[in-house]
């Protein structure tokens, strides 16, 4: 079974609108972390936001917020007031387990290509 599922291969959004990128995950661990990364056309991977499984509040970083619904095992990225520079691939990733050896790895989803339309 896929551990990280991103069901939207591509999305087109009008500039200045808000956009939600979906991510669902599968784990039996109680302790885990969820990450979102951005990959612009230049290719580098840029860390955007993190949510810990025990965090009570949804994470926010500027225009990025993470809509964390633990019971549904979803961790959707919300970008408010989208800009042309937001056009990129977006990857959801998960780290499972506590700080024990073997739990340093990230599992990535297949990504969503977001295109912002002027």
Partner 1 sequence: NAGVTQTPKFRVLKTGQSMTLLCAQDMNHEYMYWYRQDPGMGLRLIHYSVGEGTTAKGEVPDGYNVSRLKKQNFLLGLESAAPSQTSVYFCASSYSLLREAPPHEQFFGPGTRLTVL
Q: Which of 15, 30, 47, 70 binds partner 1 (CB under 8 A)?
A: 47
What is the full DSSP assignment across the chain?
--SEE---SEEEEETTS-EEE--EE----SSEEEEEEEE-TT---EEEEEEETT-SS--EETTEEEEEETTTTEEEEEESS--GGG-EEEEEEEEESSSSTT----EE---EEEEEE-
Task: State the minimum distance, in angstroms, from the CB of residue 78 to partner 1.
Answer: 18
Binding mask 67-106 toward partner 1 (x if CB under 8 A, else -) reads: ------------------------x-x-x---x-xxxxxx
* Interaction between residue 11 and partner 1 (CB under 8 A): no
The residue range among 12-20, 36-44, 62-70, 72-80 that interacts with partner 1, by the rule CB under 8 A, is 36-44
Residue from 1, 28, 41, 44 binding partner 1 (CB under 8 A):
44
111 contacts partner 1 (rule: CB under 8 A): yes
């Amino acid at each position: 079974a896929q551990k990280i599922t991103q069901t939207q291969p591509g999305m087109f959004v009008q500039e200045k609108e808000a956009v939600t990128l979906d991510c669902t995950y599968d784990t039996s661990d109680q302790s885990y972390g969820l990450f979102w990364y951005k990959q612009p056309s230049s290719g580098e991977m840029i860390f955007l936001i993190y949510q810990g499984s025990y965090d009570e509040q949804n994470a926010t970083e500027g225009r990025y917020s993470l809509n964390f619904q633990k019971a549904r095992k979803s961790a959707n990225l919300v970008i408010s007031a989208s800009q042309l520079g937001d056009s990129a691939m977006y990857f959801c990733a998960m780290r499972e387990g506590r700080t024990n050896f073997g739990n340093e790895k990230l599992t990535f989803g297949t990504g969503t290509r977001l295109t912002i339309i002027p």
